[in-house]
Structure 1
């Protein structure tokens, strides 16, 4: 919506500039024609060129109100200006005519409209100037100067005033106004972006707080339960909630509100799980090998939940009691938006006959479901001691950004 509004503002500014230049140049041309007849004593070609251009360009500008095609209006005006200026220049001294500087105004108008038009009219005007010069130095001049000797200085003065006023009083003034509006719009956009970032941070902060509240409620609920299995289920649910809460906590604490640094997230998550399940003084060694990558929230949360399930299973069933153990988490990028995650432990493992299809374990089923959610695949490596998984997945929505 904001982008659409900005485009409308730019279009209105461009329309205003083109129409204003057209009106001014038409009026000045008609005035110039009158001056040629009654003050400068120029009766051939030049006053008629001014008169014709003034009337036709005025009609062309008024017609814009009906067809609303700015490109058509601009192109007609530019071609008429080019033809009229070239004609007046030829009949008022050629390469020595003071009116030749009006050709530069056409180039300026072109660049104000688009770079392509500016380049086109620049090259076209350079060609016309060279042709005018060639006509002047030729042995036989096809066109002669129709400005009387007594009017040359006054004609030069009016031509220069005409050019300077259009360039400074119309183009310069309006371009400055347009620049001021753009600067104002830029400041407004920056303020809105800051407000939006603040609101997003607040949302992530509240989501994190809400998830921590849910975690606290689960913890309170588990205290009143004697059954170890139910207590374990509540603890697993609590860890899953914390896994999501950490993502939102990292998002609102950092400048980048769309992605999180995944290495620090996995390190924090894994350390929390070890403390939560094994206690603060455990014999567990964590090996986290993850490059400096940022993942968006749509990928970070399901991948975090997947890591949570594999590490939780390793701590509960793989490395039992107070035994020493090692948990490794390794992430590698293989394509622009494809990754391979290796998660494993050196615990006692479990039978290869047990799969997510025939197992009653929610954690095992979640690992496979989360892999599919990440548009990936999961394989168990049976050649190593313990339980090891290789998960190949894709960054959801292709929003991955690597940081050197």
Structure 2
């Protein structure tokens, strides 16, 4: 039984509903006459016509450079009981974290459980979350004493994101982010949830998607909605992270790597677009830390089975200019098509990444100048697979997902969390 990760769900939605160069600069924000109160729309940024950026060749066979050190073992691991099948998300909470366990539903209702865990992974109190709108639950975050759980529903061929606010398991608000609005990533700043995603085109159009940022208060009110909609460009955000002077959002603009810096109000400060050869890329993770600003992207291949990871170091002082890139490609030896997807990135003495392929977790790290510190794979027993995402808690990578066997119809997947 193969689980559907948050990224695979949203990739499927994007493939169904959404149809190079270095450059870009600041743009003046204007009001959108069709938007609701408090929302804004940004106009087209200045176009640039730089040459395509090819970058270096892939690093090593099977995304592991020759002679690279093996990644460190997980400091702590925990497998939860089998009443739930997936550790869908991990979020900071107090001095530790909370794990969102999902996968038990029936009779048209969906249940999930929040489990508090200590910094070293020891589980504690559980709070049941009942009667969620759909079984497609993707994330949770804590806004003070309130927890926001998010997921998506599908109405005919339209996807839309919902948010449920809960306290001690009881519902305190239910918010629908609007028709055709799909959120891919969220961050918390003070008591505000900042969400990044896409506004899909109408069902009966051949239009392009528009990238959106939304600010959601602790009572579920959408306080601000900023839309980035360049004519004749398909734009979407897949990642967002706070910075000292605003936020960094990343995704794709048509086939380009796309990173946008905005201030605290959502006004665009600068943007950077990168085209590497003929590949289409999506930024799925961003890290802003002491050693630099980093983005991790993956290829957008839905059928050919050759997805790989692109790591970029950016210079915010030069409007996101690319300082260096590294390519981790499981197809570099050309012996077979492979899959490698990024899951999360942190700045820990340089970029540190987690990703996944069929049955394994991939881990990699470089120095701030791009020299590879380690790279390699982690798996359970040979007859088991481990489908995993990763989350960032206090600058630490936490891998999570579920384990089970591909070879047994009776195998029951169990939630698993590993602390790096």
Q: TM-score, normalised by structure 2?
A: 0.22
Q: TM-score, normalised by structure 1?
A: 0.22
Q: Which structure's residues are more often helix, by fraction? A: 1
